[in-house]
Structure 1
Amino acid sequence: MKRILVISDIHGEIEKFEKLLVETQYNAKQDQLILLGDYVDRGSNAKAVIEKVMQLKEEGAFVLKGNHEDMMIKALTTNEEKSWNHWVKRNGGNKTLYSYDFSESDIAVNKEDFEKPVLKSDILENHLKFIQELDHYIETEDYIFVHAGVEPTKPVAESEPYTLMWIRNEFHNGYNGEKTVVFGHTETKTLHGDEENCNVYFGSNRIIGIDGGAVYGGQLNCLELPSQHVYVVKE
């Protein structure tokens, strides 16, 4: 493989995702594509993004699970009101379900007596099975690829999957390992401390954050390794 290309936090932005793959001139036979999770929620076409991700995985891409996939799985495979509301009402899961042609009334619940809606969709079931089987990290000789980060005091192989999908400040401030960690999850403008800066964040402690906040009007970033060249799509 000539290049490693890393993308994270697509959040239903299928047009930006496809433009970015064109911008990078991605070639599955020559490049190793790594996707770090959060394909769904908040954006308008999670269904199309997952379909594209499934295709790319078939062609050789490595695909990881993000915290939004974690929320989606919990909401759709349990009958817990808390999990349902956390995903649908607070984290954009409603937009994901709309992309599968469910309406607002289809996903409405009774506030007095919770009962999860019955959602019939073979495509959704297939996509749910796909995201349930995704890995949580990739470790190579030089890098760790993960959605949110790693526990600073543990080998990544000993970390809890939940932590790998959700951790923030403890990792950002405390990591001091030998391998470079490439991650998404936390918008780079937060890491930069600058609301206008959506560019890839290169930390002094060998952490590289790539979530440009595309679904919030930011940008979708792709990090090329080992060159550390960055490709960007804003619209």
Structure 2
Amino acid sequence: MKRILVISDIHGEFDKFEQLLEKVQYKPEEDQLLLAGDYVDRGPNSKAVVEKVQALVAEGAIALMGNHEKMMLEAFYDEETYLPRWLRNGASETLRTYGYTVIYKEEKGVLKGSVDGEWKNDLSVQEAIAFMEELLPYYETEDYIFVHAGVHPTTPLAETDLHTLVWIREVFHQGYTGVKPVIFGHTPTKNLHSSYEVYFGTNNIIGIDGGLVYGGRLNCLELPSKTVQYVE
């Protein structure tokens, strides 16, 4: 049986991501790599992470949508409506890696940000957007469900909207009662059990977001053994 290696919430930490792949001795011809979203924002090199994920997918990895990719997509297609929320969640760091800065101006007592330059006409940005549009909302096998944030306890998975799959927290954490284990990121495990170690919930949920950009670590969960390796 192939090892399934699950990593989430890289958030632009390209060097740490590379270190972790080397540490777990990932071999695409032997292992199934599954990346559970949030490749961009907050960290130092989102562009490099996106390009790395693209290359890994070309080799057979499975990549899921995270809420940060969803925010970037929304801001790209409707900047006026969605850029403010993306900026509040680390967009400036991502835009910087594509060569753009954010300018803040006060309008009627409110500080508003705008991108300095035609970022949406940038070929590299457009390629990233095209790739993000193809990211999976979730991935299910006979034994596991993989998703960025979680599943709704009372809604069939196939009928669950993307917003829920990439944003849900407590309703899922406290309410899931399914037989099939759900492996997820999104919520730093320190918020689940006061530790950046992988969270093995009593209700068949496994949280792997080690909060790397908050001073934690980048976890890799190996299945079916449930062993964990990480970098800090």
CA contact (8 A) 1:79 1:115 kept: no
Change (3 A) 1:155 1:223: same
Change (3 A) 1:109 1:24: same
| Structure 1 residue matching 2:221: 3-state secondary structure | strand
* Aligned residue in 1 for 2:85: 86
1:98 pairs with one of 76, 96, 99: 96
Match runs of 1:1-235 below 5 Å: 1-81=1-81, 83-88=82-87, 90-105=88-103, 108=104, 111=107, 117=115, 118-119=118-119, 120-192=121-193, 194=194, 197-234=195-232
CA contact (8 A) 2:152 2:176 kept: yes
How many pairs are equivalent?
227
| Structure 1 residue matching 2:89: 3-state secondary structure | coil
Q: CA deviation at 1:161?
A: 1.0
Change (3 A) 1:101 1:20: same
Stretch deviating more after TM superposition (9-18 or 96-105): 96-105
In the alignment, structure 1 segments of 5+ residues that lack a partner are none
Structure-1 separation of matches of 2:187 and 2:92: 22
CA contact (8 A) 1:150 1:156 kept: yes
Normalising by the residue count of structure 1, what TM-score does the alignment of the two structures yield? Answer: 0.92
In the alignment, structure 2 segments of 5+ residues that lack a partner are none
Change (3 A) 1:232 1:144: same
Q: CA deviation at 1:116?
A: 5.7
| Structure 2 residue matching 1:38: 3-state secondary structure | coil
More strand by share: 2
Q: CA deviation at 1:80?
A: 2.4
CA contact (8 A) 2:209 2:218 kept: yes
CA contact (8 A) 1:7 1:34 kept: yes
Q: CA deviation at 1:151?
A: 0.5
CA contact (8 A) 2:217 2:231 kept: yes
Paired amino acid for 2:134: E
Change (3 A) 1:184 1:204: same
| Structure 1 residue matching 2:37: 3-state secondary structure | coil
Identity of aligned residues (%): 55
Structure-1 separation of matches of 2:173 and 2:202: 10
Normalising by the residue count of structure 2, what TM-score does the alignment of the two structures yield? Answer: 0.93
